[in-house]
Amino acid sequence: MVDSQYVLPNDVGLALLDCSEAFRLLLRSERLYAHYLSRACWYGGLVVLLQTSPEAPAIYVLLSRLFRAQDPDQLGELARSAGLTDLEYQAFLVYAAGVFSNMGNYKSFGDTKFVPNLPKDKLRQLIWQSQAFQERPEEMESLWDRCGELMFSLDPHQRQLGLREKGTTTYFSGNCCLEDAQLAQKFLDSQNISAYNTRLFKEKDKAGQTCYEVRLASVLGTDAPVDHELAPKLRCFEFEGCTFRVTRGDYAPLLEKVVENLQRTKACVSVLPLLCAHAANTNQERMLEHYIRSFTQGSIAAHKEGSRSWIRDKGPIVESYIGFIESYRDPYGSRGEFEGFVAIVNKAMSAKFARLVESAEQLLLELPWPRAFEKDTFLTPDFTSLDVLTFAGSGIPAGINIPNYDDIRQTEGFKNVSLGNVLSVAYATQKDKLTFLAEEDKDLYIKWKGPSFEVQVGLHELLGHGSGKLFVQEEKGTCNFDREAVINPETGELIQSWYRGGETWDSKFSTIASSYEECRAECVGLYLCLNKDVLRIFELEGEDAEDVIYINWLNMVRAGLLGLEFYTPETGTWRQAHMQARFVILRVLLEAGEGLVSLQHTTGADGKPDALITLNRNKILPVGKPAIERFLRRLQGFSAVTDEGPERFLSLRDTVLLRKEARKMFVQANTRLEGEDVTLVQYEGTAAGLIRSFSERFPEDAELLERHLLELSDGNAHFWASQG
C-alpha cells in the first residue's frame, strides 16, 4: 500500500471556476484581449513542467497523447475490458487531472510527489491497448520507458522537492547543494543579475575546475544579438575560484509562443480585417511591449518596466499578470515559477476593497511598530475582486499582492487582487469532512468561513504584504532612513543592519523569506480584523461581526494544526510557506496561555487517533491580540516541530495525515476564436472534465508543443541522470 500522502484520493474535490457571466458582459474587444492574453498564459504555463521534475514533461506528453486520441469515457470502456476496476480507472483519471492541475507530478501546495493509485502493470496494460499506442507504438513505448519507473517511484529523495539528498528540483542540476545555491546567489548579487528567470547547472571542466551555468529564460539564444542591458552579463566570469557562465535561451520555443500571443494581444491582424489594437490604454500597450522584450531577451529589467506600467493601469475590466513570479518552489527561494492569469473584475466586491484601500493609511497606524518602519508615503494600490478566466501555473491562490520586486514595491507600489470565483468554491466545506473542531463550532464555521476568509485575504494582501519598509543603503552611501534616529522597538537601540544596494528580501533571507513574510501577513490580518471599522467595510456589524472575528481566528488555529501535513520529519523542513506560517501562529497562541487555545489528543468515533482544537472567543481581545502584537514585533523561533508535551506535535502530525482532506482542483474554461469574436467553452467539474479542458487547450499545435517539451527535457537530462 502506498502512503496516502503520496496519492490523490478518488473523491478529491474538483470544481468548475465559473466565469461565464463576467465573460458575457465583456465587450468584443475585451474578449479578444482576454483571449490572446489567456493563450500567452497557457503556453507559458507549460514551462512549469520543466521547472518541477526531470520526468514531468514526459508524463505530461504521455497523458496528453492518451486523452487526445481517446476521450476519458472512451478510454474508460477500454480500461474495463483491459481488466481495470472502476476504482482503478477513476484513480488514473484523478492522477492525470492532478498532473494537469499542478503542471507536474508534485503538489503545488506542499511540494510532495503524488503517484498513480493503481498497479503499475495495469496502467502499462491500458497504455499498450490504447488508441494512441495503436497509432504510434514506438513513440508511446519510448515515453513509458522515459517516465514509467519515475512516475511510480517513491525513493526518499524523490518524495518531495528539494536540493540534493533532500529532494528533487529542476531549478538546479542534480549535483547542486545548498552551498552551491548560496555561492551562486553571491555571484548574481555581485553582477546585479536577478535570479527570478534563471536556472543553475553545475559541471566540471576538463581541468577539473567547477563551472556553473546561469541560464536565463528567453526566446533568443546567447549567440543572438544582445541589447545594451544584457551585453555585459552574457559572458564568463571568474568568481571565488569558480567559473560562472551566463547564458540564455531556456524554454525558448515555449516563450516564443508566449511572445507571439502577446503580440497578437496588441494587434490581431489575423482575426479582424483591419489592424485592431486590443490594449485598452497606453499603460497596457507599454506593459505588453516590455513583457515582449523581457521574454524575448531574458531581461528582468524589462519585466520590471512592464510591472511599472501594470501598476499604473488602474481598474482595468480585464486584469492580468504574467512572468516568473513566485519563488515558493525554488528550494533556495530566489527563482520564480512561471505563471500567468487573466481575470475579469467583479465590481460589487471591488467596491468593498476600494473602501478598505481608502482606510489603509489610518489602519497602518494601528500596527505595532514605529511610524519609521513604514514607507514615507503610502502608495495607494489598486485592489480588485476578480473572477478568474485563466490561471496557468502550478496552482491557483485566493489572493495576490504583486509585483514581488522590492525596489518597485517600496517606491512605486503594487496591486492587490482577490480571486472571487476561487474563494467561492475553494473553501466550501462539508460538515462530515470538517476535522478537529468541536461539534458546536461546525455549523458556525461553515456559515462564516467564506466571509471571514474574504476579510482575512483583504487584510493579508493589502496591509500584510503591503505594509513595512525595507531599510536600504544605496551603493553611493545614501540611505532611505535616518541612521541616527530609527530605533529597533525590540532592543530600544539604533538599528544595526540594513540592505545594501542590489540586495532583496528573497536574496538575503532565501529559504525562510517566504514563510517569514506569509507569517507577518497572516498576523496582520488577525490583528486588524478586530477593528470594527474594517468589518463595517465588509458590511458586518453586531453579532455577525463578532462571529466573523471568532471564525477567522478559529480557522487560523485549525490551519496551524493542518499545517503539520506539510512538515517533513526526516529532513526537519517545511514544504509550504503559508502552512509553516500558520503553524507558527498556532504555537504563539498556545503559548499565550490563559485558556485562549486548547489542543487535545482524542480518539475518534472510528477508534482511530483524533484531535480537538478549541478557541475561547472571550479571550481573543484580552489575550490573543496582545500575543499577536508582541509576535509581530519579533517573528522568529516558533516553527520547530517536536514530540514534547503537552501538544506532542510529531504525533499530531500522524493524526493530521490520517484525517487530511485533499486540496481541491479547479476546472478552467477555454476561449475559442469564432469569426471575429470569442466564445467561452466550459467543462464539468470532474476529473474527466479537467482532462478534457487540457485535451482541447492547444487545438492547433499540441503535437508541436509536446515535441518541444521532450526536446527541452532531453537537452538537460544529463544534469539529473545520476539521481535516477
Q: Is the dihedral of CA 165, 169, 172, 173 positive or negative?
A: positive
Mean pLDDT of the 412-432 span:
86
For 3, other C-beta atoms within 10 Å of its C-beta total 11
- The top-scoring range by mean pLDDT among 15-19, 367-371, 473-477 is 15-19
CA separation for the pair 611, 435 (Å, rounded): 8
CA separation for the pair 565, 544 (Å, rounded): 32
Quote the pLDDT of residue 639.
Answer: 60
**pLDDT level of residue 570 (50, 70, 90 thresholds):** confident
Residue positions in the annotated binding site for Zn(2+)? 460, 465, 518
Kindly report each contact of residues 681-687 with a partner whose C-beta sits within 8 Å and lies 24 or more positions away, as own/partner.
682/16, 682/18, 682/20, 683/16, 684/16, 685/14, 685/15, 685/16, 686/14, 687/12, 687/14, 687/72, 687/90, 687/93, 687/94, 687/96, 687/97
- Across-strand partners of 211? 203, 243
Report the percent of the chain where pLDDT is more than 70: 97
CA separation for the pair 171, 217 (Å, rounded): 12
Mean pLDDT of the 66-82 span:
97
pLDDT tens, 150-172?
A: 999 999 999 999 999 899 999 99
CA geometry: angle 387, 391, 397, nearest 5 deg: 75
Helix extents (H) in 194-341: 252-266, 282-297, 300-312
Strands 472-473 and 499-500: parallel
For 582-637, the three-class secondary structure string (H helix, E strand, C coil) is: HHHHHHHHHHCCCCCEEEEEEECCCCCEEEEEEECHHHHHHHHHHHHHHHHCCCCC
Where are the extended beta strands (E) located within 196-282? 198-204, 210-217, 236-239, 242-250
The domain segmentation of the chain, as residue ranges, is 14-29+39-164+677-719
pLDDT tens, 591-640?
A: 999 999 999 999 999 999 999 999 999 999 999 999 999 998 876 455 67
Dihedrals phi, psi of 603, to nearest 5 degrees? -120, 130
* Burial zone of 258 (CB within 10 Å; 0-12 exposed, 13-18 middle, 19+ buried): buried
Dihedrals phi, psi of 387, to nearest 5 degrees? -100, 120
* Burial zone of 193 (CB within 10 Å; 0-12 exposed, 13-18 middle, 19+ buried): buried
CA separation for the pair 496, 483 (Å, rounded): 9
- Across-strand partners of 618? none
Where are the extended beta strands (E) located within 458-575? 472-473, 499-500, 567-568, 573-574
Instruction: Report yes or no: 609 and 658 within 8 Å, Cβ to Cβ.
Output: yes
CA separation for the pair 627, 635 (Å, rounded): 11
pLDDT tens, 91-114?
A: 999 999 999 999 999 999 999 999
CA separation for the pair 119, 1 (Å, rounded): 10
Which three cell numbers, joined as nine digits, stand for 266? 496588441
Quote the pLDDT of residue 636.
Answer: 47
Which three cell numbers, joined as nine digits, stand for 256? 516564443
**pLDDT level of residue 440 (50, 70, 90 thresholds):** very high
The torsion region of residue 244 among left (phi > 0), alpha (psi -120 to 50) and beta comes to beta
Is the confidence at residue 205, as pLDDT, over 50? yes
C-alpha to C-alpha distances, 3 to 114, 169, 412, 428, 638, nearest whole angstrom = 10, 22, 48, 26, 28
Quote the pLDDT of residue 268.
Answer: 47
Secondary structure (DSSP) of 322-386: EEEEE-TTSTTS-SPEEEEEEEEEEHHHHHHHHHHHHHHHHHHTTSSS-GGGS-SS--PPEEEEE
- Identify the DSSP state of 486: P
pTM as predicted: 0.88
CA separation for the pair 187, 507 (Å, rounded): 11
Which three cell numbers, joined as nine digits, stand for 135? 497509432
- Identify the DSSP state of 228: T
**pLDDT level of residue 378 (50, 70, 90 thresholds):** confident
Mean pLDDT (the chain) is 92
Is the confidence at residue 275, as pLDDT, over 70? no
CA separation for the pair 163, 178 (Å, rounded): 7
- Across-strand partners of 267? 277
CA separation for the pair 39, 340 (Å, rounded): 10
Maximum C-alpha span of the chain: 79
CA separation for the pair 101, 45 (Å, rounded): 11
Q: 368: which residues sit within 8 A by CB, 6+ positions away?
A: 527, 629, 630, 632, 633
Quote the pLDDT of residue 638.
Answer: 56
**pLDDT level of residue 276 (50, 70, 90 thresholds):** very low
Measured between its terminal Cα atoms, the distance across the chain in Å is 22
Active site residues: 461
Quote the pLDDT of residue 635.
Answer: 66
Rg (CA), the chain: 25
